[in-house]
Every structure is written in C-alpha cells, then in structure tokens.
Amino acid sequence: MLQRTAQLFRIRVTSQMQSALTNAPDDPVAAQFLPTSQELTGDGLSDPIGDNAHAPVPGLTHRYPDRVILHVTKTCDVYCRFCFRRETVGETGPLAPQQLDAALDYIAATSTIREVILTGGDPLTLSLRRLHMVLTRLDALNHVQMVRFHTRVPVVAPDRITPELVELLASLRMTAWMVIHTNHAQELTPPARKALRLMADAGIPLLSQSVLLRKINDSHDALQDLFTTLSALRVKPYYLHHCDLARGAGHFRTTIAAGRALMQGLRGPLPGHCLPTYVLDIPGGFGKVPVTADHFTEISPGRWRVTDWQGAAHDYLDPED
C-alpha cells in the first residue's frame, strides 16, 4: 500500500515534525504527514483551486487584479497528505531561470500589481542566495508594495529561519508579510516558537493559515488551542480554509455546516483577534469566499450554491459521509 501511495503522492517529513509525533492512535501530526490507504480511494481534482486557469506565463498565477502568485519552487520540506498542489509539489525544484525572468518581466510590465505572493512549493526552502536574488529584483519594481510568503518552514523546519534571512526580509523596501501554515498546536514546538519570535521581534507581520481537517483539528478544543497559541506568539490567525478537493484527500474534508458550527462556537469564547476568516477556495479557480450566508445558500442537504467575488454562482457538494 505504502509503495502504491508513494508512486502517486510524494512522502517527506522533517526531523522536527518526527519529534512532534506522539504514540497516540489519532496523532494530529502523524495524520498530516504519514500516508494511508485512504489516499488511494475517492475522487478529487488535480488542480482544485484552478492555478492553471489564470497563468499568463508559467510559474505565475494572476487571479485578482492587484496581486499575483509567483510559484518560485515546487519543493517542500514536508509533503502534507491533504495538499491542494500534491500532484505537482516536488516534481521539480526552483523555477527555471528563463521562466523566472518571464514571470518577473510580466510583473514589471503590469503596474496594477501591488503584491507578489511567493509560494510553490515552499518559498523558504530556497537558498538565501536565490531568495536574495528574487527579492532584490522584486524590490526594484516600485509598484510592488508588498511581498507575501506562504510557508510551512517556520513550523516544520524552523532552523531555516536564521538571523540572516530575517535581516534580509527586514531590509526590503517592500513590506514582507509572512503567512505561516499550521494546523495544530502540537506542531508549534519550542524551535518553531523561537523562529516565530525571531521574525516578530524584527517587525515582520505574521499571519497564519490553517486547513480544517477531519479527525485532526475539527473540534472546538483543537481550534481554540491552535488560534490562542498563535495569537500569543504574535501570529494573527488569518484564514481557516475549508479542505480543497485534492485527489486522494477526501477523507480529510468536513461538511460546510460542520465548519460553520465550529467557527460559530468559537465566537464568544475567543476574542476577535484570535478568530480567522473561514473560507472556501471555489473549485475551478473562481477565488476565495468567506463561508457566510452572503456567499452560501444550501439548496438541498449537502448541496450549496456559492457566489464568488464577481457575483457568479457555482455549485458545491459536501463529502457524502
């Protein structure tokens, strides 16, 4: 089974995450990184959030007018079993020089772009030399005001957050935002906390992004613990994502109603600064919307009509169970 799963989806866990494992049968860290036979069953999409539908040049996604996603690398330090890019992460390393040039030329020629989001893969797996080169080229484009990293590195490989890296980020003309991907407080080990402190002390704004994952963090206590721990570490909980329709990840999905009930139950017990926005990335590349009555209408049990940011309607189905 393991061999078959490994042929379909890459497997990698850092020593930091191995040290965070417990022997509990439903360990929330193990369930995120260790493969199971459930990945071999069920449907799903190879590009659930539609990156490819909005790619003006390879390696760049331009979905919203004022910001782009630059996929600087396809490598990650861990391969999460629910990853929405699981069929492409790890297949190559950093973006090829010609592709990077084309992406940067596109950004340079598009003056409406105010923010560049670095992702992949994980942008903080790049060497300091390569990061310096990419950031220096972006920093020279005056219309780019912000660079945003989406990364799991501070949690899964905190040793990569060095004083040199932090100094580079703090020295930019653009504001560097750091969005930390983390799904359970058990991942926030002492070295991870130290890495977050280093960045917070340097004045780098920190946000978090989590995925709502069945049997990992779909409980009041797990989410409360995660969000309050992050807030105490000066990381503002930003988004709680409804789990995407990635292939072989159906067993991680909850229903929309379950996610809403969890968020509703946290409003009151938690202060507002601990509460992220619960969002769905509409399958097919139609963007993110908050899971609120403004955007979601239940047409029949488990079947939703979702209105995107441009007013178009899409059908969305809960998992069968």
Four-point Cα dihedral 225, 231, 234, 236, nearest 10: 120
Interatomic CA distance for residues 82 and 38, integer angstroms: 11
79 binding ligand SF4? (CB under 6 A): yes
Residues 157-186, mask of contacts with ligand SF4 (x by CB under 6 A): ------------------------x-----
Residue 76 or 266 having the CB closest to ligand SF4: 76
Phi, psi of 272 (to 5 degrees): -55, -35
Q: How far is the CB of 182 from ligand SF4 (least distance, A)?
A: 10
Interatomic CA distance for residues 71 and 121, integer angstroms: 7
Residue 48 or 266 having the CB closest to ligand SF4: 48
How many alpha carbons fall within 13 Å on the CB side of residue 178?
Answer: 26
Among residues 29, 55, 70, 83, which is the contact residue for ligand SF4, using CB under 6 A? Answer: 83
Largest CA distance in the chain: 54
Distances (CA, A) of 227 to 201, 209, 221, 288: 20, 10, 10, 21
**Site residues for ligand SF4, window 181-220 (CB under 6 A)?**
181
152 binding ligand SF4? (CB under 6 A): yes
Residue 117 or 266 having the CB closest to ligand SF4: 117
Helices marked H in the chain: 2-8, 15-19, 30-33, 97-109, 128-139, 153-156, 163-170, 190-201, 220-232, 256-266
Among residues 39, 122, 218, 318, which is the contact residue for ligand SF4, using CB under 6 A? Answer: 122
Annotated active-site residue 76? The verdict is: yes
Q: Looking at the DSSP assignment, which residues form a beta bridge with residue 305?
A: 297, 315
Please say whether the beta carbons of 248 and 86 come within 8 A: yes
Annotated active-site residue 234? The verdict is: no
Residue 62 or 85 having the CB closest to ligand SF4: 85
76 binding ligand SF4? (CB under 6 A): yes
Interface region with ligand SF4, contact rule CB under 6 A, candidates 81-89, 99-107, 224-232, 288-296? 81-89
Query: The tokens 């000066």 sit on which residue?
Result: 234
85 binding ligand SF4? (CB under 6 A): yes
Please say whether the beta carbons of 90 and 79 come within 8 A: yes
Annotated active-site residue 86? The verdict is: no
Quote the DSSP letter at residue 313.
E
Using CB under 6 A as the binding criterion, the count of chain residues that bind ligand SF4 stands at: 11
69 binding ligand SF4? (CB under 6 A): no
Residue 90 or 270 having the CB closest to ligand SF4: 90
Annotated active-site residue 281? The verdict is: yes
Annotated active-site residue 85? The verdict is: yes
Catalytic residues: 63-64, 67, 76, 80, 83, 85, 244, 281, 288
Please give the residue ranges that form the binding site for ligand SF4 (CB under 6 A). Answer: 76, 78-80, 83, 85, 89, 121-122, 152, 181
